[in-house]
Amino acid sequence: MKTNDQVQNIKERIKEGFETLLSISSSRRKFLTFAGKTIALFSALPFLKFTGNHANAATVSPKAPKTMVNLKGGNYILLKNGFIVDGSGKKGFNGSLLIHDDRIEKISTSEINAAGRIIDCAGLVIMPGIIDAHSHMDWYMPIQGHNELKLPFTGQGVTTFVAGQCGYGVAGFRKNTTFINKISRGIINPLPIEWDTMGQYFDHVKRNGMTHNMMTLAGHGTTRTSIRGFNATPMNRDEMKEMLALLERSMDEGAAGVSLGLQYEPGIFSTGDELREIAKLVKRKNKLLTVHLRAYSALSPGYPMSTPKILLDYVSPFDGYEPHNLLAMDEMLNVARDTGVRLQISHLIFVGTRTFKTCEDGLKRIDRAIKQGVDVKFDTYSYHCGQSIINVILPAWFLAKVPGAYNDKKMLSKLKSELGLIQRFLGFGTKDIQITYANSEELNQYNGMFLDQIAQKRSMDWFDNAMDIAQKSKGVANVLNHSYSNLPIIETLMRHPASLFMTDALPAPRGVQNPAVYGNFPRFLQFAREKKIISLEEAIYKMSGATAERYSIKNRGFLKEGLAADITVFDWKNIRDNNTLIETSKTPTGIEAVFINGKQVLSKGKVDAAIKAGKIIV
C-alpha cells in the first residue's frame, strides 16, 4: 500500500519531468534518455488505483494469450472453449479448434482470434469424428433418399464407415456374372447393381453424393459368388486364379483389404488352402484381412458333434470336446501365423450362455498370438445382441444342398437333431432369435417377434417354423440374435488393448431396428463414464484413432492441424443411449455437433439431411 508521502512524491516527479522536458533543447541524447524514463513512469500508473489519499495495486484479470491466425479466405468455424480429446489416447485439454473449409486449421490452449462462425463448446468434449470399424453401409450408400437408413449413424457421432465386411463386398465381380441375383440379395434386398469393379462403384456413389465418408473392403464371398455361385466344391485352379485377380484389382482400386464370412455362403465352403492363398495376397498388398469366424459358439452346426461328449460337457464343462468357437479362432490365428497377414477378428462374441465361459480362453489365445508376433486385433459392439441373417444357424453340409435340402426328410432329421442339441445344451435357441425383417410378404407380419413366439402363433413345431422362414426368405430373413454376450463380457472386451469399437448394424427398411444403429457409440461412452471401465480418452481412441491406425486411414481419426475436419462434439456428463429392449430406435442424448469434412451435419442433436459431405477413402 502506498503512503500519502509516496503519492505526493510521484506527483512531484511527474511535474518535474514536464518542466525538464520543456527546458531541453540542446541535447538529443538527454531528451531520449529522459523520454524513456517518463514513458516507463506513465506505464506504471495503470497498476495504481487511487482512492482518496491512498494508492493500491490494481487487480488485473489475467487473460489467456491470444493465438493469431492468418486468414486465407474461405469458410471458418471456431469451436471455442471445449475439452479437446485428440483421438490418440493422450490426456485431453481445454482449448479451441479452428476449422477452415474441410481441414483443421488450428488447435490451441489459448484463445484463437479469427473471424468466422463461433460455436461455444464450454462444458463439451471435442473429439475426432467416430469411425465405425465394422459396417455394411456400402450396400446402403447407393440408395437414393431413405435418409432414415443412414442418418441415425450421424445422430450418434459417426462420420466414417469401414464397410464391405463379413465377405459381403459390394463390388469386385466377374464382368456380366450370371449370379448377380445371389449377390444382390445378401444385405439389403433388392439393390440394383450397376457396376462390376470397385472403381466403378466408387464413381457411382460419388456422383450421387454421400452422407458419410466410407472405406471399403473387397468381399471374398461376393467375389467368389460372381464366379461360381454357391457351389460347395473346392475351387479349381482357374477359378482360384480369377478370384485372386479380382480381389487384387479391388485392392488396387482402393479397397482396404479383404473380408471373409466363414459362416455364410459361400465362405462356409472355403478350404484352408483357399484361405491361405487369400491371406498371402493380402499380405503382399500390405492390406488387412478381416474375418467373420466359422463359429462364435461352443457348439456350432458344421463341426463334428458327439452326443456322448456333449453330455459329458454338461456335467464337467468342456472335458468332452474343444469349444467350436475356439477351434474357429485357432484356424484363423494359424493362417495369420503361417502367412504374416494382419488379421482383424470381426465382432468377437460368445454366443449362448454356456459359451460365455470361453471368453477368458479366447482372449488368452489372442494375447498369446500377439506375443508371438501375430498382428491381430478384434472389434466389438456395446450390446448383448447382434445382427445376422437366418442362414447363420445352418451348417455347410445343409447349405450345400439348398434348396433341395428343404424337402429332404433325411437331411432335415439330421439338422433337427443337431440344432436340438445346440438349443438344449448351449443356452441359445429359438427364444433368442428375433426376426427384425422376414423378407417375405407372407411372414413380415411377424417382424419383431422371436422364433419361439412365431412358432406358437403359427401352431408349428419350433424346427418346422424356423425352416419355413429360412426357405421362404431364401435364407436372408434379417435376425437380431440375443445372448451374444453379457455385460461382464462387454466390459472385458472394452478393456482389452486389442479391441476396436464398431456397430455391425444393418438398418432395417421395415420392421425392428438393431439398437446399434442409433445408440452404440453413446452407450460405450456412457459405460466408460458410469462404470469407469476405461477412461474417456481411451474410449475415444478405440472409436477413432485406433481404427484409423488399423485401416491405414491417413488423414482422419485424430484432431491434428492439417487433417480432415471430421469432428464430433458431445456432452460427456449427459451422453446416453436411450434404447430399451422394446424400443430400439431411440435417438441418443448428448451429441451436440457433428462435422464431416468441415461441414456441420448435426446441430444440437438434429441432423441436416440436405448436406452430403462424405467422401470415398482409399
pLDDT (0 to 100) of residue 510: 81
115 vs 130: which has the higher pLDDT: 130
Q: Which residues pair with 94 in a beta bridge?
A: 83
Q: Is the pLDDT of residue 595 over 60?
A: yes
Mutual orientation of helices 516-531 and 487-495 as an angle, nearest 10°? 80
In angstroms, the CA 126 to CA 103 distance is 15
Cα dihedral sign for 388, 393, 395, 398?
Answer: negative
112 vs 302: which has the higher pLDDT: 112
- The DSSP call for residue 234 is P
The grid cell for 106 is 488450428
Decide if 165 contacts 217 (C-beta within 8 A). yes
- The DSSP call for residue 351 is B
Structure confidence at residue 190 as a pLDDT band (50, 70, 90): low
Q: Is the pLDDT of residue 123 over 70?
A: yes
CA dist 26 → 22, 36, 353, 447, 575 (Å): 11, 17, 101, 102, 75
HSE of 509, CA atoms in CB hemisphere, 13 A = 14
Q: Is the pLDDT of residue 186 over 70?
A: no
553 vs 33: which has the higher pLDDT: 553
In angstroms, the CA 481 to CA 352 distance is 10
pLDDT (0 to 100) of residue 597: 98
In angstroms, the CA 319 to CA 316 distance is 6
Q: What are phi and psi of 59, to 5 degrees?
A: -80, 120
In the chain, count H helices and then E strands: 19, 25
Structure confidence at residue 56 as a pLDDT band (50, 70, 90): very low
Range with lowest mean pLDDT among 189-193, 249-253, 396-400, 454-458 = 189-193
- Residue 437, classed as helix, strand or coil, is strand
pLDDT tens-digit profile of 305-364?
A: 666 666 666 666 665 678 999 999 999 999 999 999 999 999 999 999 989 999 999 999
pLDDT (0 to 100) of residue 472: 96
In angstroms, the CA 174 to CA 247 distance is 10
Domain boundaries, the chain: 4-57, 130-390+483-576, 393-481
pLDDT (0 to 100) of residue 424: 84
- Alpha-helix runs per DSSP H in 426-461: 451-458
End-to-end CA distance of the chain: 68
Q: Is the pLDDT of residue 231 over 90?
A: yes
| Homologous superfamily in CATH for domain 130-390+483-576 | Metal-dependent hydrolases (3.20.20.140)
Range with lowest mean pLDDT among 181-190, 415-424, 505-514 = 181-190
In angstroms, the CA 291 to CA 351 distance is 17
Q: Closest Cα partner for 403 from 462, 299, 475, 452? A: 475
DSSP string over 537-571: HHHHHHTTHHHHHHTT-SS-SS--TTSB--EEEE-
Decide if 55 contacts 48 (C-beta within 8 A). yes
Structure confidence at residue 38 as a pLDDT band (50, 70, 90): very low
HSE of 273, CA atoms in CB hemisphere, 13 A = 6
Specify the pairing of strand 599-603 against strand 218-219: unpaired
HSE of 379, CA atoms in CB hemisphere, 13 A = 31
Mutual orientation of helices 359-371 and 324-339 as an angle, nearest 10°? 10
In angstroms, the CA 142 to CA 603 distance is 25
Residues of the chain above pLDDT 90, percent: 76
Decide if 259 contacts 165 (C-beta within 8 A). yes
Residues of the chain above pLDDT 70, percent: 85
Q: Is the pLDDT of residue 55 over 50?
A: no
Structure confidence at residue 422 as a pLDDT band (50, 70, 90): confident
pTM of the model: 0.87
Cis peptide before 403 (omega within 30 of 0): yes
Judge residue 486's burial from the number of C-beta atoms within 10 Å of its C-beta, 0-12 exposed, 13-18 middle, 19 or more buried. middle
Q: Closest Cα partner for 376 from 339, 327, 349? A: 339
HSE of 328, CA atoms in CB hemisphere, 13 A = 28
- The DSSP call for residue 44 is H
pLDDT (0 to 100) of residue 53: 34
pLDDT (0 to 100) of residue 511: 81
Greatest alpha-carbon pair distance for the chain in Å reads 123
State the CB neighbour count (10 A cutoff) for residue 323: 24
CA dist 499 → 89, 358, 450, 502, 550 (Å): 14, 17, 30, 10, 11
Q: Is the pLDDT of residue 49 over 70?
A: no
Show Cβ contacts of residue 110 under 8 Å, excluding neighbours closer than 6 positions.
64, 65, 66, 67, 95
